Amino acid sequence: MKLPIVAYGDPVLKKVCAPIEQEYPDLKQLISNMYETMYNAHGVGLAAPQIGLAIRLFIVDTGADEDENAFKRTFINAEILEETGEPWAFNEGCLSIPDIREDVMRKPNIRIRYYDENWELHEEEITGMPARVIQHEYDHIQGKLFTDTLSLLRKRMLKSKLDAISKGNVKADYKMRFPQQSRRR
Ligand code: NI
């Protein structure tokens, strides 16, 4: 089942998310719904707060186009243990912030500990683009968006566009939930 994606401005996107337990209700179904939602929106990552849940869960699949080198993982209760290397810039976007892309600096190497969808514990070193996608999604479960990392000037320049997104004045080719959309009856 595809879920609506929460748009910029919703308080759930600002929450530091809570860890979950193995008994979390319908977790398998939730994860499967998140993959369906992400693929439908042509995203490479999706975090639980983006579908309205403040829990430490996110998914990554960098190979939506049947790329053999695709990196696909489900991250539960993830903790980034270390980030190393010379920061590099990449033009990032976010399914919660349609139509805005900005250069974001991130370190290229990470070490991360997490549970997968079968509750097996992993500690992995990841580098390059998959690491970047993980850092972006990890920020989501820490209550951070890529726009938070921008300079004050850049933020000011984007303000009216971001306000418009919160109000639902933006086009996305997937279903969204807007925090400030007036409800008409
Ligand atoms: Ni995002």
119-178 pLDDT, tens per residue? 999 999 999 999 999 999 999 999 999 999 999 999 999 999 999 999 999 999 999 999
- Return the active site residues: 137
Residue 42 in marked binding region: no
Residue 94 in marked binding region: yes
Domain segments of the chain: what residues?
5-184
Residue 140 in marked binding region: yes
Q: Are 61 and 35 in contact (CB under 8 A)?
A: yes
- Is 106 exposed, middle or buried (CB count within 10 Å of its CB: 0-12, 13-18, 19+)? buried
Rounded Cα distance between 126 and 138, Å, is 13
Ion ligand 1: protein residues whose beta carbon lies under 5 Å? 94
Rounded Cα distance between 55 and 53, Å, is 6
Q: How far is the centre of ligand 1, averaged over its atoms, from the C-alpha of 50 (Å)?
A: 8
53-97 pLDDT, tens per residue? 999 999 999 985 566 678 999 999 999 999 999 999 999 999 999
Give the CATH number of domain 5-184; options: 3.40.50.11540, 3.40.50.720, 3.50.50.60, 3.90.45.10.
3.90.45.10
Q: How far is the centre of ligand 1, averaged over its atoms, from the C-alpha of 122 (Å)?
A: 23
Read off the pTM.
Answer: 0.95
Query: Average pLDDT over the chain, rounded to whole?
Result: 95
